[in-house]
Structure 1
């Protein structure tokens, strides 16, 4: 498989940080890397990726479906009297996978976030057979959120390859251990924790992001 889906337990979990870090790290490993945000509501990730990386992709290739309102896609689409045509997204993804060595796909929201009125991110990941990494933010309640999202992944048969912890604010090693103990999360979910991203004061510093990605145990997800 030459694609990896990055999803999270919820919005603001750190999907964009991980996706950017992996892109910064893997852009020298893969000769022809692609990046994708299948659906976006409001200004955000597609603009960031277009600014940070020169992957020779149009905005439409990065984000096939775009809605103005920063709301869940079914709600944003309804406000514009539009349908969510997932066939467009699927075709774009397939074209990218055919033309690129590897494609990073950042999901919207969390695994349980609605893509349409009938499908969640988890449903889409399972149906499209996308290997997936789950981002868990380092904060109170993270353990329960990780367990619940892994349960949803199993229920929908998502190919969940690993968990990445993410510091959404500066955290000490002791805080990380207290709020998101990797061994406990692994024991409860039976999914490997690949490591923890530190807090980035500048989330556009590609050198530091690449260094952080290099420190993750990426061999566990067996991406070539």
Structure 2
């Protein structure tokens, strides 16, 4: 494969599925737009579509598309979308398809060529099978973007977060920071869990990028208020002299 130019942006992963990756990714796109940057969301593989006004739509893809500052199509944001809401390799097999790793990488770079910053949302957790011999962690390695970890704040989150951090670093990737997302507003010892996560991740050099409370209407703007703009600026400008000068 011809060498591709480095990407600018981040890869958003989570401690599990349904922990708020899309919510945080959309907020990151909103924040990037506020900086005056051309932002584009990218969901390489999406599983689970609904028929809306005669069109099959994946809600995650549509959310990222709407949060991007560029005018994009669903296909540009989500190049591979499958009907069944299950593990992507299973959803692909149900449609007698395979997930093409090279196609996803080239799709990411084609979209990045139009944008200043690319926010890539992974699927499920960090190590989700994409085929017989590769997974979502391999895709993150292909993209070589700093990783932002979304921690779903619920029972078990500390273990899930630290294990995911180990997996990210084992791949040689930078865990640029983490965002806590409150899933259960009545979670016992919420503050104590967050304090432990802050302490453990600080020792590893991965700062907290924000703790998002339970919100009745989690729009990108409402979520972005709870993110640390200074820390985000460091992440997005670290590999881009253009962004650093804006």
- The normalised TM-score by structure 1 is 0.89
SS of alignment partner, residue 99 of structure 1: coil
- Matched with 2:18 is 12
Deviation at 1:177, TM superposition (A): 2.1
Deviation at 1:47, TM superposition (A): 2.2
- Matched with 1:183 is 198
Q: Could you report, residue by residue, the CA deviation over 1:18-59 in whole angstroms, capped at 9, with x for unpaired residues? A: 111111221121332111111101122012233455521111
The structure-2 alpha-carbon separation of the partners of 1:126 and 1:47, relative to structure 1 and needing over 3 Å to count, comes to same
Out of 6, 20, 28, which is 1:22 matched to? Answer: 28
Q: Does 1:81 align with 2:113?
A: no
Out of 145, 170, 189, which is 2:185 matched to? Answer: 170
- Out of 205-214 and 36-45, give the one that drifted further: 205-214
SS of alignment partner, residue 34 of structure 2: coil
Give the CA RMSD over aligned residues: 2.2
- Whether contact under 8 Å (2:22, 2:63) holds in the other structure is no
- Out of 75-84 and 115-124, give the one that drifted further: 115-124
Deviation at 1:160, TM superposition (A): 1.4
- Matched with 2:153 is 138
Out of 40, 43, 55, which is 2:46 matched to? Answer: 40
Structure 1: 5+ residue stretches without partners: none
The structure-2 alpha-carbon separation of the partners of 1:54 and 1:158, relative to structure 1 and needing over 3 Å to count, comes to closer
CA distance in 1, matches of 2:73, 2:11: 20
- Out of 46-55 and 143-152, give the one that drifted further: 46-55
- Whether contact under 8 Å (2:39, 2:118) holds in the other structure is yes
Where do residues 18-167 of structure 1 align in structure 2 (5 Å cutoff)? 18-43=24-49, 44-53=59-68, 55-167=70-182
SS of alignment partner, residue 162 of structure 1: strand
Q: Could you report, residue by residue, the CA deviation over 1:157-189 in whole angstroms, capped at 9, with x for unpaired residues? A: 1221111111113258x8332223233332564
CA distance in 2, matches of 1:29, 1:83: 38
Q: Number of residue pairs matched?
A: 222
CA distance in 1, matches of 2:229, 2:8: 21
The structure-2 alpha-carbon separation of the partners of 1:48 and 1:137, relative to structure 1 and needing over 3 Å to count, comes to same
Structure 2: 5+ residue stretches without partners: 1-6, 50-58, 238-242
The structure-2 alpha-carbon separation of the partners of 1:132 and 1:52, relative to structure 1 and needing over 3 Å to count, comes to closer
- Whether contact under 8 Å (2:179, 2:212) holds in the other structure is yes
- Whether contact under 8 Å (1:136, 1:146) holds in the other structure is yes
- The normalised TM-score by structure 2 is 0.81
- Whether contact under 8 Å (2:209, 2:227) holds in the other structure is no
- Out of 91-100 and 183-192, give the one that drifted further: 183-192
The structure-2 alpha-carbon separation of the partners of 1:219 and 1:176, relative to structure 1 and needing over 3 Å to count, comes to farther
